[in-house]
C-alpha cells in the first residue's frame, strides 16, 4: 500500500489552475520531497491532502483511505507554510490544545519531550507571542508530531530556522523515518532535499514534470564532487583524466587546487587513492551541488520564464 496516491487531483481558483491533474505516489516510510518554483501548486496540493482545500476534480488515497474520510486524519500531522499559533497561549497549552482536538491523551511529560525534540526545552511555559519566528516554527513542528502520526506533511519546515535549526530538523526527520513515519516535505532548499529525500517530484504550473529518485534524475548514477588538493601537477591531472574513473577539471592556485571529478559514488575511494598514490594531499571531498540547481532550473524552463 502506498502512503499517498493521487489521481488527477486538480484545484482551480476561479480561472487559475493551481494543481492540474496531479498523479503522484508516495511510498510508506520514505521522505518525499516536493519541489517547484513559487506558485507551482505545492501548498495547494498539501492542503487538498490534509482536507483544508476542496479539490475541483480528482481523488486521492491517504494511508489506505479516501482522503475525504476523517479516519486517516488522526494519523496525520501537518505544519503549514504560514503558521500562526494563538499568541496568548503558552507553548505547552498549544500542544495540549492540539491533543484535545485529536482526542488523544498527551500528558505533561510527553509535552515536554516533544518540545525538547524540537529544540524548545524549558520554554513550554512561555507565551507564543514572546516567541521568535523560528521558535514558533519549531512549535509548529511539535504540533505536527502530536499523536505520533504515521504521515507528516511539512510545508517548508525550515523557512524561519537558523542553520543549527535546519540541521536539527534534518536529524529529526531522519529519526522519524527510522521510526517508519512517512514524511511529505515541501522545500526550496535543494541541498536539504538532496540530503534527505528518498524520492522527489518536481511540479510547475500545477503539473508534475518529474517523479522519481533524485539521484537518477540528476546524475543518472554519476555524481560530481569538489576535491581540495595540494600538490597536483599537470602530469598528475592528466593521469587522473586518463584514469578509469575520473574526469578532472583543474583551476585556481597551482599549489592548492580545487578539482572536480564526475564518477559513480562507489568509485570515490579509488579516485582518492589514485590522488594519494600521485603524492597529492587531499584536504576535502564534498558533493558538488551546482548540478542539482542546474537540473532544477533546466527542468522548470528558466529561459522560457
Ligand atoms: N486561496 C487561493 N485563492 C486564489 N488563488 C490561490 C489560492 N491559493 C493558492 N492560489 C494560487 O494557486 C497557485 C499555487 O499556489 P501555491 O500556494 O500552491 O504555490 P506553492 O507552490 O506552494 O508556492 P510557494 O513556493 O510560493 O509556497 C498560485 O498561482 C496561487 O496564486
Ligand atoms: Mg507554498
Distance from the alpha carbon of residue 23 to the mean position of ligand 1, in angstroms: 18
3-state secondary structure of 54: coil
Distance from the alpha carbon of residue 39 to the mean position of ligand 2, in angstroms: 7
Give yes or no for a contact between 11 and 44, defined as CB atoms under 8 angstroms apart: yes
Split at pLDDT 50, 70, 90, the class of 302 is low
Report the pLDDT value the prediction gives residue 294, as an integer from 0 to 100. Answer: 76
CATH homologous superfamily for 4-212?
P-loop containing nucleotide triphosphate hydrolases (3.40.50.300)
pLDDT of 270 over the 60 cut: yes
Report the pLDDT value the prediction gives residue 305, as an integer from 0 to 100. Answer: 47
d(CA 64, CA 76): 12
d(CA 24, CA 211): 8
Average pLDDT on 259-286 reads 86
Report the pLDDT value the prediction gives residue 189, as an integer from 0 to 100. Answer: 87
11-29 pLDDT, tens digit each:
999 989 999 999 999 999 9
d(CA 300, CA 124): 43
Distance from the alpha carbon of residue 187 to the mean position of ligand 2, in angstroms: 8
Q: Which three cell numbers stand for residue 178?
A: 527510522
Q: Which of 41, 49, 186 to mutate to test the pocket of ligand 1 (most atoms within 8 A of CB)?
A: 41
Split at pLDDT 50, 70, 90, the class of 147 is very high
230-255 pLDDT, tens digit each:
888 878 878 877 777 665 555 554 56
Asked if the domains 4-212 and 221-293 are classified in one and the same CATH topology, the answer is no
Distance from the alpha carbon of residue 243 to the mean position of ligand 1, in angstroms: 50
The angle that helices 163-178 and 133-145 make with each other, rounded to 10 degrees, is 10
Higher pLDDT, 305 or 295: 295
Query: Which ligand is nearest the CA of 204, by number?
Result: 1
Give yes or no for a contact between 94 and 139, defined as CB atoms under 8 angstroms apart: yes
Report the pLDDT value the prediction gives residue 219, as an integer from 0 to 100. Answer: 66
Fold of 221-293: Alpha-Beta Plaits (3.30.70)
Split at pLDDT 50, 70, 90, the class of 100 is very high
| Strand locations in the chain (E) | 4-13, 16-22, 25-26, 31-35, 57-62, 65-66, 76-79, 151-155, 182-186, 199-204, 207-212, 222-230, 248-251, 256-264, 281-287
Report the pLDDT value the prediction gives residue 226, as an integer from 0 to 100. Answer: 83
Atom of ligand 1 nearest to the CA of 188: 25
Report the pLDDT value the prediction gives residue 183, as an integer from 0 to 100. Answer: 98
**Domain positions in the chain:** 4-212, 221-293
Give yes or no for a contact between 218 and 224, defined as CB atoms under 8 angstroms apart: no
pTM across the whole model: 0.82
40-50 pLDDT, tens digit each:
999 999 999 99
118-142 pLDDT, tens digit each:
999 999 999 999 999 999 999 999 9
Q: Would you report the helix, strand and coil content of the chain in percent, each value rounded to 5?
A: 35, 30, 35
DSSP code for 88: T
Give yes or no for a contact between 172 and 179, defined as CB atoms under 8 angstroms apart: no
pLDDT of 218 over the 90 cut: no
Amino acid at each position: 500500500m502506498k502512503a499517498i496516491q493521487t489521481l488527477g487531483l486538480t484545484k482551480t481558483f476561479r480561472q487559475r489552475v493551481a494543481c492540474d491533474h496531479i498523479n503522484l505516489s508516495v511510498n510508506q516510510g520514505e521522505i518525499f520531497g516536493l519541489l517547484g518554483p513559487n506558485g507551482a501548486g505545492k501548498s495547494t496540493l498539501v492542503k487538498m491532502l490534509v482536507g483544508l482545500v476542496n479539490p475541483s476534480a480528482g481523488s486521492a488515497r491517504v494511508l489506505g483511505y479516501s482522503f475525504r474520510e476523517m479516519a486517516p486524519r488522526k494519523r496525520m500531522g501537518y505544519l503549514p507554510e504560514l503558521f500562526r499559533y494563538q499568541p496568548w497561549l503558552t507553548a505547552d497549552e498549544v500542544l495540549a490544545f492540539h491533543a484535545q482536538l485529536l482526542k488523544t491523551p498527551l500528558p505533561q511529560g510527553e509535552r515536554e519531550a516533544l518540545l525538547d525534540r524540537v529544540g524548545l526545552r524549558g520554554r513550554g511555559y512561555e507565551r507564543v507571542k514572546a516567541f521568535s519566528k523560528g521558535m514558533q516554527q519549531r512549535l509548529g513542528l511539535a504540533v505536527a508530531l502530536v499523536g505520533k502520526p504515521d504521515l507528516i506533511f511539512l510545508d517548508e519546515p525550515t523557512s524561519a530556522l537558523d542553520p543549527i535549526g535546519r540541521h536539527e530538523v534534518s536529524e529529526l526527520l531522519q529519526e522519524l523515518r527510522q521510526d517508519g513515519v512517512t514524511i511529505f516535505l515541501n522545500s526550496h532548499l535543494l541541498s536539504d532535499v538532496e540530503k534527505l529525500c528518498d524520492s522527489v517530484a518536481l511540479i510547475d504550473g500545477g503539473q508534475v514534470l518529474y517523479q522519481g529518485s533524485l539521484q537518477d534524475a540528476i546524475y543518472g548514477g554519476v555524481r560530481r564532487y569538489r576535491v581540495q588538493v595540494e600538490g597536483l601537477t599537470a602530469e598528475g591531472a592528466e593521469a587522473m583524466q586518463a584514469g578509469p574513473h575520473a574526469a578532472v577539471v583543474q583551476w585556481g592556485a597551482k599549489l592548492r587546487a580545487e578539482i572536480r571529478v564526475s564518477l559513480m559514488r562507489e568509485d570515490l575511494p579509488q579516485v582518492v587513492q589514485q590522488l594519494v598514490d600521485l603524492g597529492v594531499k587531499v584536504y576535502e571531498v564534498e558533493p558538488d551541488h551546482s548540478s542539482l540547481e542546474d537540473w532544477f532550473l533546466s527542468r522548470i524552463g528558466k529561459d522560457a520564464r
